[in-house]
Amino acid sequence: MSELIWIRDAELMSPHPAGRGDVLIANGRVLAVGEGLDPRGCGVALRTIDAAGHYLCPGLVDSLVHFGGGGGEGGFATRMPPLAATTALAAGVTTMIGALGTDDVTRSHADLLACARALAASGLSAYVLTGSYQVPPVTLTGSVRGDLAFIPEMIGLGEIAIADHRGSQPSAAELARLASDARVGGMLAGKAGTVLVHVGEAPEGLALLREASARWPVPLRQWHPTHVNRHATLLADGFAFVRDGGSIDFTTSSTPDFVAAGEVPAARALAEALAAGLPVERITLSSDGQASLPHFDAQGRLLSLEVAPIGSLLGSVRDAVESHGVALATALAAATSSPAAIWGLPRKGGIAAGMDADLILLDRDTLALRWTMAHGRL
């Protein structure tokens, strides 16, 4: 143990409220959490951080980031750049799950995996999904099961696209087979094997997932559909999906054009889901970071593109609390403990002995981010 970190007098949110207390950290892990901890005189170098007047929270878990760069649907000039580790840390994100998305032609899993390992060198936890929008999926080892079994960073499959013109228009049988492959690959490696499903604007919504789970022994919880706040009809479909045993994800990056076209902002979608009695344990928020966000004129012509900001995740947590009356613990759960559980990451999303020291400090009055700690590194 080269250094012991002592965070003192914080308002602990784990993400549930845990009162005022201290946290001891060494070697990238939480050693102890409690009130009145005092490690002085323990014989190792001690770094003390005064957190009085602040909430100490788990680092955010962003379950959809195109950290190798997204976009590209408008030609080569519309390819978005890779994510910098400093950008993620400045946004309070300490864990992220990367996906290819639309472009599995000019981008590859080898490059995505290299980006994940570069981010990890900065202290971040970066995982990867095999596959892309397309069916059959592109893989590194030749199979979904092989990728999940043999590549440590690969923890699931996705984003498989349904109800979208950019997808392969898969059948329910094809989806069931893919989910089974992800499930078995995950079992072999002790991973969740969750399937992230990109849901487009087509009216069929989540029907294909229901059909696959109704006709074959694939539990609804194996799927994790994202962009479910795309429009009100899909949002209602998503609520029913959760009631039936599934989980859903709301995308936090948006534009005024998207909202004008019917998108439900993620913070509002979360508030409506909670008001409908849905458990936050089955709801996540993700940024879709580094995807492309288009701006159109009144005639629908593309004017410009911007990068989907990973910072929208914390922004939506704050908006849910300040504008929609969601309790801070609940809003945090949708971006910490819920995605950690759905994706099978037991050392993420909380503050307890043995968990990774991935933490953020928020001002108690403004919820402004003061600092981010990833694996015990500020």
Please choose, from the candidates 361, 377, 368, 371, the residue with its C-alpha nearest in 3D space to the C-alpha of residue 58: 361
Residue 56, SS3? strand
Euclidean distance between CA atoms 265 and 144, whole angstroms: 33
Tell me the CA distances in angstroms from 10 to 21, 47, 56, 225, 343, one per residue in order.
Answer: 6, 15, 6, 35, 28
Please choose, from the candidates 376, 371, 328, 375, the residue with its C-alpha nearest in 3D space to the C-alpha of residue 89: 371
Euclidean distance between CA atoms 310 and 83, whole angstroms: 9
Could you confirm whether 365 is annotated as catalytic?
Answer: no
Tell the residue number behind the tokens 């039936």, with chain if given: 244
The residue annotated as part of the active site, out of 22, 103, 237, 288, is 288
Q: Do 218 and 212 form a contact (C-beta atoms < 8 A)?
A: yes
Euclidean distance between CA atoms 212 and 176, whole angstroms: 5
Please choose, from the candidates 49, 61, 111, the residue with its C-alpha nearest in 3D space to the C-alpha of residue 91: 61
Euclidean distance between CA atoms 2 and 67, whole angstroms: 32
Active site members = 288
